Amino acid sequence: NKQVVLRDYIHGFPKESDMYITESSICLKVPQGSNGVVVKNLYLSCDPYMQLLMKITQGHGAPFTPGSVITGYGVAKVVDSGHPNLKTGDFVWGTTGWEEYSLIKNPESLFKIENTDVPLSYYTGILGMPGLTAYAGFYDICAPKQGEYVFISAASGAVGQLVGQFAKLMGCYVVGSAGSKQKVDMLKNKFRFDEAFNYKEEQDLDAALKRCFPEGIDVYFDNVGGKMLDAVLLNMRNHGRIAVCGAVSQYNVEQPEGVTNLMCLFYKRIRMEGFAVFDYFPQYSKFLDTVLPHIRDGKIVYVEDVANGLESAPSALLRLFSGRNVGKQLVAIAHE
């Protein structure tokens, strides 16, 4: 059983050499009396939070254990089951190992995949954890209204691309920022954002936002934190909402950047709220009922960036932190 293992806790940016590939044996039968399942992993999801678990930090959940297999979200096929609700051949998504086969002792955390008319890989992204993040953060935290001005950072990524399309479906004016010309073109032409800009080419983020939002921003879906958040605060409208989804620009820095414009919160009566997708897992089927029809009708499109083979998983994960991923980064490791 080939596995990706964390070598040791990291400091600063993760490197490929912080992970290594090893082989171990695994029994493909569930132990007698266990209600666990053995799964064959098909697709592994690369997610920004994973690097936080490579560090000894507080407040981000239990970190990975050096010398142990890396865990993350994935799509898998059940090869043996001791659980009454799952049988051999079922497809599932949820937390699994970065390895060919995994024994999952608590299958209650897995979601059974009932709709297989869409690609199974979608359950690492648009129909999985990042999709639910976009849904919860936009509809619940941002409380959007038709015609409002919406800004999204890291907009071409797994979460951002979906938030922008939800906002367009609601009749909002939508602008996204991303880190390359290719991504900016994708935002405008593929995801039909009204406007987009490459934040790496802007000398002055405040000026870029004023250019895109002469009347200000009602809703900011924040994926990056840092300087962008500071500039957005200056451009928010009264009673605006900010969903703090993530702060990917700050995950690797020794000294997090201070946000200096927080006074705007009370001047402009802004509501700024963080959220964790786990709290929304009970709403997963409601989310599917909303999103699946839009995918089937072509009203929502989706871009994935697929690396091939378990060996490519470490480098695929690192792509998130240099912005080399174009769309949702995942790793295909086996055929069904």
Per CB under 6 A, 183 contacts ligand NDP: yes
Per CB under 6 A, 78 contacts ligand NDP: no
Q: 69, 86, 229, 248: which one contacts ligand NDP (CB under 6 A)? A: 248
Q: How far apart are CA 184 and CA 181, in angstroms?
A: 5
SS3 content of the chain, % helix, strand, coil (to 5): 35, 25, 40
Residue 231 or residue 248: which is nearer to ligand NDP going by CB? 248
Min dist. Cβ of residue 219 to ligand NDP (A): 16
Per CB under 6 A, 48 contacts ligand NDP: yes
Kind plus residue range of the DSSP H or E element containing 74: strand 71-81
Per CB under 6 A, 121 contacts ligand NDP: no
Q: How far apart are CA 334 and CA 309, in angstroms?
A: 7
Residue 121 or residue 249: which is nearer to ligand NDP going by CB? 249
Min dist. Cβ of residue 332 to ligand NDP (A): 17
Q: Which parts of 205-234 interact with ligand NDP (CB under 6 A)?
A: 223-224
Q: 178, 229, 295, 330: which one contacts ligand NDP (CB under 6 A)? A: 178
Contact 70, 64 (CB under 8 A): yes
Contacting residues for 33 by C-beta, under 8 A, at least 6 apart = 82
In 3D space, the residue among 102, 43, 37 whose CA is nearest the CA of residue 75 turns out to be 43
Per CB under 6 A, 124 contacts ligand NDP: no
- Residue 248 is given by DSSP the state G
Q: 113, 142, 159, 300: which one contacts ligand NDP (CB under 6 A)? A: 159
Contacting residues for 326 by C-beta, under 8 A, at least 6 apart = 156, 180, 182, 183, 186, 303, 305
| The two three-digit tokens of residue 51, written as one number | 């690097």
Per CB under 6 A, 323 contacts ligand NDP: yes
The contact set with ligand NDP (CB under 6 A) reads 47-49, 130, 133, 154, 156-160, 178-180, 183, 223-224, 245-246, 248-249, 275-277, 320-321, 323, 325, 328
